[in-house]
Structure 1
């Protein structure tokens, strides 16, 4: 579910594209990571309704939501390299 004021986007990484949701704001961004077997959309209501002035980003980790599906079972360090 994507609510008013929330936008979708994609960022390229070495293995594919990372899908994310974002909301405009000012200051240091708040970045939200979903738990395994979920997606960035679990933060849509928070992003739309919370009284937060900062920009908010919610990322779909690889293999979930709209992000690319990695081969095999990547190590934690590989996920970090893709996302940061």
Structure 2
């Protein structure tokens, strides 16, 4: 496996990649990120294209090997959650 260029991913895609590394389903990713399941599915598909991978297993391996880089402040989950309405 060649070294994927994670800089091609958006911050949201990085969060989704971390979730794929945790073996979450699209529905679980959607709940975690406060997005629709369809949007989660589109993020997963975009990750596959950008990293030139074909499976969730490959994504999980990349997430595990590059965990520190993916957990940087730039892709903090807290910065990507939609704020609650008042």
| TM-score category (smaller protein) | under 0.3
Task: Indicate the structure (1 or 2) with the bigger Cα radius of gyration.
Answer: 1
State the TM-score, normalized to the length of structure 2: 0.27
Structure with bigger helix share is 2
Structure with bigger strand share is 1
